[in-house]
Structure 1
Amino acid sequence: MNQRPSREEYNEFQWTYVKLVPPEGEMRVMLREQTQAMLELFNGLTEEQGAYRYAPGKWSIKEIIGHLTDNDRIMSYRLLCFTRGEQAPLPGYEQNDYVAAGSFDRFTLQEMITHYRIVRESTLALVDSLPKEAYTRKGNFGGVAMSVRSQLCVIIGHELHHQRILQERYLN
């Protein structure tokens, strides 16, 4: 799928992520390339770096990986629901509560990378299975009719957002 969603296909908060997705290119390919880039970035880190926080109260790199993994699970579920025609409103989630409850720092960096890889592979399999006509189907999130293609852009854009933060604040 190459066509990006219109502004009517997602809510204002999601614009933060949708706008980060390049306007050209196949989104399935972007997601696959993004996954490879993140795995290369993560696999180049030491256990010490995995525990690093750039400031008090900020997430560690392992917590960021845990957040990305949780987010992929949640966003993929939304994508599945929209694809299958679910019309019940889907809930949001409070990322800080999820990270705190996840206790991700108890895992090794390699364990967190494995969790991320497995969940992302599942997301990729779901996206690869979508028929072309599914991309314009809509579901209800946050009181807005949100399309499958906009949800896919949120998945890609959210990860781009965190990739930038990792590069600028953790690894620079």
Structure 2
Amino acid sequence: MNKRPEQNEYAPYYSDYISLIPEGDIEQILKLQIIETTKLLANLSDQRGIFRYETGKWSIKEVIGHIVDTERIMGYRLLTIARGDSVAMPGYDENAYILQADFNQQPMEELLETLSAVRQSTLYLLKGLKEEDWVRWGNANGFEVTVRAIAFIIAGHEIHHRKILAERYFGSKDFPSA
């Protein structure tokens, strides 16, 4: 799928995410993205993974866990809408999910393997879509959205958090050295 979603295909909140996506095939973009993200995070120790750039902010491991949780939720939404189910899907409290998951206790290696596995699942889901599935409409978190928009949101969400990791975490004067 090469066509970007129109602004009316998603909630205004997602505009910033979608604007981060370069032109091109979204499946290929998602495939290349996960390689870049795992390279960025591959050499982090568990100790560095619990770094927070500021009190009250998520740790690096929690950011990774949040990316995973969000992609799983978006993947479910994408599947539900693509299959023609008209159920309105609820939103979720990302902070409550972080607290419940306890990502800081998970080994960094497992978090990265999970991130890659979830992305592979998303890619196989997208690969199996028919052309007409991409433009199906559904309701998630009280907003109308298309399958195509959700795929772009997944990609933009990852880029958004990768930028935050690079700027606020790895760019912090307090970031622990290897």
TM-score class, shorter: over 0.9
Letter in 2 for 1:166: L
1:12 maps to a residue whose letter is: P
| Alpha-carbon separation, structure 1, partners of 2:43 and 2:113 | 14
Distance 1:111 1:169 in 2: 23
**Counterpart residue number, 1:40:** 39
Match of 2:19 in 1: 19
Displacement after TM superposition at 1:44 (Å): 2.2
Q: CA RMSD in A?
A: 1.1
Moved more, 160-169 or 122-131: 122-131
Distance in 1, matches of 2:148 and 2:64, equals 24
Q: Which amino acid aligns with 1:11?
A: A
* Partner deviation per Cα, 1:75-126 (whole Å, 9 max, x = no partner): 0000101100111111111111101111001111112112212111111111
Deviation at 1:14, TM superposition (A): 1.7
Aligned residue number for residue 136 of structure 2: 137
How many residues are matched?
Answer: 171
Structure-2 separation of matches of 1:106 and 1:81: 32
Extract unaligned runs of 5+ from structure 1: none
Q: Which moved more, 1:60-69 or 1:40-49?
A: 40-49
Structure 1 runs (4+) greater than 2 angstroms displaced:
142-145
8 A contact 1:89–1:143 mirrored in 2: yes
Unaligned segments of structure 2, at least 5 residues: 172-178
Corresponding position of 2:7: 7
Q: CA deviation at 1:63?
A: 0.6
TM-score by length of 2: 0.92
Displacement, 1:144?
2.8
CA distance, structure 1, for counterparts of residue 64 and residue 4 of structure 2: 27
TM-score, length-scaled by structure 1? 0.95
Match status 1:30 vs 2:17: no
Structure 1 residue 139: deviation in Å? 0.8
